Amino acid sequence: MPDNHNNGSSSSGTTILTGWARTIANIFAGRAATGKAAQQPKAKNSSARIKLGQNGEKLACKYLKKQGYKHLLSNYQIERGEIDLIMRQNQTIVFVEVKTRQSEDFVSGEAVVNYHKQKHISLVARHFIHTNNLHDYPCRFDVIAVVTADQGKSVIRHYQNAFPYQLQ
């Protein structure tokens, strides 16, 4: 990790951030990074399913904020995939996949984050890191499973470092 984020100064003594230092300062300050946030859900999903997923992502983000994480982006999307949440814990960039279920009668949410899904998440994370020149910062991949209940009480399971970076 770089020791010095200030790579310039003005004659008045005010620090000027340039290049990657400005990028990381903007990201850590919560300003938008290069890439786009998903605006419209994919058409193949039903509106109830989309709403369930959006509610799960909001609950997961709120949960992580209570744990001390800083929210950077939601629904970071490129052509080949999407990451639900990008958070920061201290100096670590955390890419979070959120899986929301109304029940786990058939399969748990975390069980569907298989190798294929991990590869897509890794690809999007690599794009985010490369585009924003964040190669010197540690990152990890977390999975959050949210199970909503009819009574309004949800169960959240957080798996830190749930899978390794998938290169191939």
Rounded distance, CA 28 to CA 90, Å?
10
Tokens standing for residue 114: 């298989």
Distance set, CA 16 to CA 20, 62, 86 (Å): 12, 33, 26
Is this structure's pTM higher than 0.85?
A: no
Residue identified by tokens 């509610």 is 55
Rounded distance, CA 69 to CA 44, Å?
32
Rounded distance, CA 141 to CA 124, Å?
12
Do residues 91 and 138 lie in contact, with contact meaning Cβ atoms separated by under 8 Å?
yes
Provide the residue-wise pLDDT of the chain in tens; the chain has 168 residues: 433 333 343 444 444 444 444 555 566 555 555 555 444 334 455 888 888 889 999 999 999 999 999 999 999 999 989 999 999 999 999 999 999 888 655 556 676 688 889 999 999 999 999 999 999 999 999 999 998 876 678 899 999 999 988 765
Which domains are seen in the chain, by residue range? 36-159 (3.40.1350.10)
Q: Left if phi > 0, otherwise alpha if psi is -120 to 50, otherwise beta: which for 127? A: alpha
